[in-house]
Amino acid sequence: MNTADVIEALRVKLSTAGGRHLYGVLGTYPKLEAFGRELARTKTREGVPFPAPLSVNRGILDAIPDEEFRRLVEDEAKRPEPTAAHVAQAFERFLRAALKEHLLVVLANMEVLFAYHMELNLLRTLATDEQRLVLLLPARREAGRVLLYPDTVTGETQAGLPSNLIASDHLWELT
């Protein structure tokens, strides 16, 4: 779909009063960046401007105090589990704060979540009724799956989006 079609589909879906409001837009990094800029110049059906995309990577790093981050980096090679746990906690704090400030949040730059194999159910849990999430994902649909970072990883190590995370009619791929 082109950018205008995806934005219009989002506007329609977001105007629904209740239910699960977790959406995904798939594409290459350049297409997602252009989409995010165009989306931020658009208004919802209620006349509210779409927010600019928030960087999840930046939000996580900002949520971890510098001294704690230095300690985590030093210990990560020998003890990766505490680092992953801190990243998960930082992500939850970041996401809850963003949704408390804005009922509609657009998330981009989610590489840290996938690098640490974070559980993504928090996204589904929080994206209900009044709280809405749009994920900008460097990905493409292939053989019934959503493959993440398709231009950077090949072979059996290809990362995929969990099939039950986002409903198929809430996912759009930029062409």
The pLDDT value recorded for residue 144 is 81
The pLDDT value recorded for residue 156 is 53
The pLDDT value recorded for residue 155 is 54
- Residues whose CB falls within 8 Å of the CB of residue 124, separated by 6 or more in sequence, listed in order: 20, 22, 165
pLDDT cut 90: percent of the chain above it:
59
Q: Is the dihedral of CA 37, 106, 102, 59 positive or negative?
A: negative
Number of domains forming the structure of the chain: 1
The predicted-structure confidence for 40-78, as pLDDT tens digits, reads as follows 999 999 999 999 999 999 999 898 888 887 787 787 777
66 sits in which H/E element? helix 66-75
pTM equals: 0.90
Whether residue 19 contacts residue 129, with contact meaning beta carbons closer than 8 Å, is answered with: yes
Given a cut of 70, the residues of the chain with pLDDT beneath it are: 152-158
The domain of 82 spans: 3-173
Tokens at residue 121, please? 């159910």
One-letter amino acid at 150 equals P
The pLDDT value recorded for residue 42 is 96
62 sits in which H/E element? helix 56-63
